[in-house]
Structure 1
Amino acid sequence: MGEDKRYLIPAGLHRVEQEIQRSRFITTVAHTPTAEEAKAFVARVREEFPDANHNCWAYVVGPPGSTSTVGMSDDGEPHGTAGRPMLTALLHGGVGEVAAVVTRYFGGTLLGKGGLVRAYTGCVQQALESLPTRERVRKARLAVELEYANIEGVRRLLAAYEAEVLSEEYAVTVGYRLELPVSQVDAFRKALLDETNGQVLVELEEPRD
């Protein structure tokens, strides 16, 4: 079944702002489980600040520090001074499934390459320090088929095992599609068998990563 991987992800959209040598830097961080969602988030921030000089960005898909799916852009800043330092800060930030956009309004003072690297790194670090997070729990999906007589008892079990009903179907028997933490699957299956005296079919669908 694979281990039940739990790690921190952003709890929601988070924004911090700071001024560095008269330039205004606005850092927006979001939970983005996929590359598509990360790119859509970047596009939304660009639309929000269309008059900014730069909307530089970076994202990490997967667990904290995972480099299998990452992306970044300097968005017109000198090569390597924005996207790469932002990505490095995200990879060391202890949070997974995360994207950051740093919006810059130029204030008239050139920061130089080293200054830009420090600014973009610092912006992401500052945002991550105050970022509200929650635990990401790996989920599995189950297909459950049972007799009508057992509906009430089985429904009582759902909350105890953090199981969410995705769909239900009432025919000759009752069919549920459920999603619950991978760590609860074995205990939930046993509880179902006990509750229904074995009159239940439980099928594990592909676990979600």
Structure 2
Amino acid sequence: MNSEKLSKRLETVAKYVPVGARLADIGSDHAYLPCYLVSNGLISHAIAGEVVEGPYQSAKRHVEELGLFQKILVRKGDGLEVIQPGEVDIISIAGMGGSLIASILEQGKEKLEQVKRLVLQPNISAISIREWLLDNGWGLIIEEIIEEDDKIYEILVAERGNEHEPYQNNLEQGLLLGPYLLQENNPVFRKKWQMEKETWLKILNQLQHASPSSQNEDKRQELLKKIKLVEEILEK
């Protein structure tokens, strides 16, 4: 991995960063994404944020090795702590759980006022992000689903306003599966939800044999509901 070549996952994220943007990449790991974008002249400068000491040092080292330290600031801090209001117009957060990404956005809300676009790639629970966007006036404009090394990733791109627009038909199904991904219904999308459904059926089976409790019954009902939502799509 180097600044010339990104993984397919990060390449997909990079594609949605507008040319000339001022980017903050949160949880930047080795700062691969900002290094790639700056090296290729796609953006003029970036901030790479890391909360963990090891990846923070790796990011600093990578930026220095490429001689990009005047254009990429590597900062240590939690979530959006690493940026000042108005300092960037695009934020990318990739490679974390959806609920963690949503909590980073929630905790740093005051930093988002002048941000024009969010490019988010959750490893799991994209629904947490969709719910946060909907509640906070950010509209999904693009979704993409890809497979790389036997893992499936969703990339969500959001801008301010029109937050209800993508969900016109079915809010519940759209939040779980992704309104645009749902429309496209491509083979990677179908594979992901077929696998999810099989996992849920296994859990359901375990719950049937568990001792009865209201908590188990709630979980059972929730799983049955999700399975039904997914089956409606897989049967198309």
Taking structure 1 as the reference length, the TM-score comes to 0.31
Based on CA coordinates, which of the two structures has the bigger radius of gyration? 1
- Structure with a larger share of its residues in strand: 1
More helix per residue: 1 or 2?
A: 2
